[in-house]
Amino acid sequence: MRGVISFILCISLTLAFFVGCDRSYDEAEVKAAAEQLLEKSLLVNEIFYGEGLEYDENSIVSSGSYSPATASALSELGISSTDGLRNLAKEVYTDGLCDIIFRTKLSSLKDGDGGDIVSLTRYFDKNVKGTNYLMVYTLDEANYDNEIEYLYETLTVTGADGEYIMIEVDVLLTSGIGLTRSDRVEFILLEENDGFRLDTLSFVKF
């Protein structure tokens, strides 16, 4: 009988891990959600922290260091404005993390209240004769310039604290000149009202 109980307990712990006394998560469900979020984050990270949207510097609405995103780039994403960018980010990251992304990438940062601008917004909407253009800051420097591949077969759930879940996964990084290295990184997931979201920026520098 003791052997049967131990076997059942082992199976239970394999299917789910428990947090406190009243919350449990299905490990397979968490892994599947994490994989989907990490895969979606590749595009979101590229938009906000990587090379950014393709732009047309020869457009008649280009002004100073800003040019409109190309029609093909917007069509591929199915968006037409910064609201579309916000929605893409909200599919991946928590509300709290999105607030930080939007403050730093969709609005200019000032040095204190009413102070000098210290960082120009990366994207903003510009209306010209009733047509909206999603403007791109052409001098923005990428936070990373390497390719990232998440090795999902190595993804493991390492712990949980209330609604927060910790995962680890191996990543393969490829530099711009073809050098590669691997690393193991930790990310945090948060369960929000409409599902899991990443509560950690998921890009990894070479």
The type of residue at 205 is: K
Query: pLDDT value at position 19?
Result: 47
Q: What is the Cα–Cα distance from 202 to 37, expressed in whole angstroms?
A: 9
- What are the C-alpha distances in Å from 183 to residues 42, 149, 201, 205? 17, 11, 16, 10
| Helix (H) or strand (E) segment spanning residue 101 | helix 95-105
**Residue 193 DSSP label:** T
Query: pLDDT value at position 22?
Result: 47
Query: pLDDT value at position 25?
Result: 84
Tell me the percentage of the chain whose pLDDT exceeds 70: 83
Q: Are 87 and 77 in contact (CB under 8 A)?
A: no
pLDDT in tens, 45-98: 999 999 999 999 999 999 999 999 999 999 999 999 999 999 999 999 999 999
To the question of pTM greater than 0.75 for the whole model, the response is yes
- The 3-class SS string of 13-78 reads HHHEEEECCCEEEEHHHHHHHHHHHHHHHHHHHHHHCCCCCCECCCCCCCECCEEEECHHHHHHHC
Q: What is the Cα–Cα distance from 75 to 69, expressed in whole angstroms?
A: 10
Round the average pLDDT of the chain to a whole number and report it. 87
Query: pLDDT value at position 27?
Result: 93
- Among 119, 81, 86, 80, smallest CA distance to 102 is for 86
Burial label, 204 (beta-carbon count in 10 A; 0-12, 13-18, 19+): middle
Q: Are 95 and 191 in contact (CB under 8 A)?
A: no
With a cut of 70, list the residues of the chain below it in pLDDT. Answer: 1-23, 109-119
Give per-residue burial for 36-52: e unless 16+ CB within 10 Å, then b: ebbebbbebbbbbbbeb
DSSP string, 72-97: HHHHHHT--SHHHHHHHHHTTB-HHH
